[in-house]
Amino acid sequence: MTEKAATPMLLLHPSRGLIDEKFCLIVQNLSQIQDITLHALIHSDDGDYWEAFGHYVSDATGLVNVANDSSLGGTYDGVEPMGLLWSMRPVPGSRIGLRLRKKEVHTPMVVHISVYRGHMSQGFREQVALASVVTERWYMAPGVRRVDITEGGVTGTLFLPPGPGPFPALLDLWGGGGGLVEYRSALLSSHGFVCLALEYMTPRTSGGSTSHVGNEYFEAAFTVLKQHPQVCGDRIAILGLSFGTSVALGMAVYSTVIQPRCLVCVSGSHVQPVKGSLSDVFSEINKNVRNTRYDEENRVIWRDLLLPIPTDPNKKVDVGQLKCPVLMIVGEDDQNWPATESAEDMKQMMEKAGNSHLLTTLSYPGAGHLIEPPYSPHIRASNFMVAGTKQKLVVLWGGETAPHGHAQEDSWKKILSFLEEHLYRSTDVTSPSNL
């Protein structure tokens, strides 16, 4: 009597974890040297489907271990333990210009992972999987609390780690797209930091006129954090992405109220009018709108709006006055903002001023503008609505999938280490010995 073949099994651990936590994925009970395809599928909060897949061959024992085995093709190649997440892309036939972002942070990102016979690249829904498993990926760890903030005229969301505290804190600033974006703050709070996700790009209407918030708005937000009973008032950092970097640098240098313990600046620039408000910054940028370029698919390239980096000291933040450590993160294929040129100019300014020991720059070849928490899909271009004018565009962010994914993983580890060093352990943050 012929022994019945064992049913293939898909083993994943942990089945529930934070979005930045690696998982282990193994396929067992396959035939020897069997071609298979591993496929991951997400249904986003926006109602779109995203997928990734890799082609594998089982070993002589009928096993595939994604942590050790190479993908021979698909949306990623080589030994990539988390390739099924960072190489995700919209399924064929999806809307144009999508970006995968978690809107409801109190629910997980649910990922369906299946194994199929043979090397497939399409038609997954029409095939029966050999085995399937579901994993939950969370931005909010158990016990993290989410609190809406409206006090002092400030609009944002506060995330508090489990426990009584007090904790170090971060002011989290996103870029020019506006809105209230919470998922990065939720994840940082899951790592032990009070985090305020601040909405600041939405123009305010007052007395019949519409304008951007003034610098006092950021000072009010910083004060909300500083005065919170669960926050260590002298251990507050600012994290800025893109335009958020401009705000972080300007406030750290020129505000008498905002005195951050350290700064994390992702894909940003110091080019802006000295002591300028948001309105001043946009007014200066609009003078160079003629420098806007478009690629062959008519996607907007904005990086030239700030180039060449000005030599006039009145047109850029005097980073030589910075008194706190700064971590600059740069994607060398950033097509949206001149992050590489800005970081180099900042280095030269700080060397001349004698405070370059405060600057750490991480520069990633092949990475684009949108450097997100690890294992987030690489978004080379996406729809964008200009805050204020509501003009809809498709913006080219840049980057290539694999190097961008690696940059996200590496930079996130170093961001957490930097924050832990300067918010938890460091006593004298201006000392070179503490960097």
What residues act catalytically?
A: 242, 334, 369
Going 214 to 217 to 222 to 227, the CA torsion angle's sign is: positive
- DSSP-based three-state secondary structure for 305: helix
- Interatomic CA distance for residues 205 and 55, integer angstroms: 54
- Interatomic CA distance for residues 400 and 341, integer angstroms: 20
Going 137 to 143 to 147 to 152, the CA torsion angle's sign is: negative
- Interatomic CA distance for residues 112 and 130, integer angstroms: 13
- Interatomic CA distance for residues 18 and 239, integer angstroms: 20
Rg (CA), the chain: 23
Closest CA to 101 of 176, 45, 173, 163: 45
Residue type, 337: W
CA distances from 179 to 201, 215, 218, 312, 362 (A): 7, 18, 15, 33, 28
Q: Mind giving me the DSSP string for 20-61?
A: TS--EEEEESPPTT-EEEEEEEEE-TTS-EEEEEEEEE--TT
